[in-house]
Amino acid sequence: MFGINQGAVFADIRIRHAKEISELSLDGYAIGGLAVGETHEEMYAILDETVPYLPEEKPTYLMGVGTPVNIIEAVDRGVDLFDCVYPSRNGRHGHAYTAYGRMNLLNKRYEKDSRPLEEGCGCPACRRYSRAYIHHLFKAKEMLGMRLLVLHNLYFYNHLMQEIRDAIEAGQFSTWKRNKILALSGNLVYSKRDE
C-alpha cells in the first residue's frame, strides 16, 4: 500500500501532505496529480520541493510520467518508479523512441529504408524487421505494425531504466544524464523533420 502525495503545484500543500503520509508506515510513496497539464518545469520544481519530505528508504513513485527526459530528470530528484502510456500509445500512433529522439514511421522517408528501427537494438522488432516493412504495415493498417512499435518502445524504456541503474551504480549518473539528454533532445536524425 502506497501513500499518494497530492497538492497540485502548491509546494506548501505538497510538503504538509508529504509529512503527514510519511508518518504512516507504508510500503512506498507516490507523487500523484502531476503530468496533468502543468509544464515540465513546474513538475520538476514540485519534485524538488516534495521528494525530500518522503522517506528515503522507501520507493518513491511518480505517477503517469513520462517522456525519457522526464524520467531521467525525476530519477535525479529521487524518484524510483514510473508508469506511463507513452511507449504503447506512441507506438500505436507510429512513433518509435530511439537514443536520438523519436521517429515517425508513417513518414514516406522510411518507405525503402531497410535498416532496423534502431541499429543495435535487441528488441523483437529490430532483430527481424526493417523500417520499410513497419512503414508498410502502418500504411496497410495492419495491426502488426502497432505491435512491433509497442514492443520496440517498451524495450527502449526498459533499457533506459537499466542504463539509469548502471550509471547510478557506477557513480556516473550526472555525466551520463547530461550526455543522454543531449542525445535524446537533439532529435537531430528523425523527429523534427518528420513531424
Q: Interface with Zn ion includes 123 (CB under 5 A)? A: yes
x/- contact string, 72-101, with Zn ion (CB under 5 A)? ------------------------------
Q: In 3D, which of 146, 67, 68 has the Cα closest to residue 106?
A: 146
- Distance between CA 195 and CA 193 in Å, rounded? 6
Indicate the residue among 44 and 100 with the shorter CB distance to Zn ion: 100
Q: How far is the CB of 154 from Zn ion (least distance, A)?
A: 10
Indicate the residue among 5 and 153 with the shorter CB distance to Zn ion: 153
Stretch that binds Zn ion, among 25-33, 47-55, 74-82, 119-127 (CB under 5 A): 119-127
**The binder of Zn ion chosen from 31, 126, 137, 149 (CB under 5 A):** 126
**The binder of Zn ion chosen from 152, 153, 167, 173 (CB under 5 A):** 152
Q: How far is the CB of 61 from Zn ion (least distance, A)?
A: 27
The residue count for the chain: 195
Stretch that binds Zn ion, among 11-19, 115-123, 134-142, 186-194 (CB under 5 A): 115-123
Q: How far is the CB of 133 from Zn ion (least distance, A)?
A: 13
Q: In 3D, which of 91, 168, 153, 144 has the Cα closest to residue 121?
A: 153
Q: How far is the CB of 103 from Zn ion (least distance, A)?
A: 11
**C-alpha distances in angstroms, 48 versus 11, 16, 27, 51?**
9, 14, 22, 6
Instruction: Provide the CB-side half-sphere exposure for 164 (13 A, CA).
Output: 21
- Distance between CA 65 and CA 81 in Å, rounded? 9
**Whether 117 contacts 131, CB under 8 Å:** yes
Stretch that binds Zn ion, among 19-27, 57-65, 110-118, 182-190 (CB under 5 A): 110-118
**Whether 17 contacts 50, CB under 8 Å:** no
**Which residues of the shown chain bind Zn ion in the complex (CB under 5 A)?**
117, 121, 123, 125-126, 152
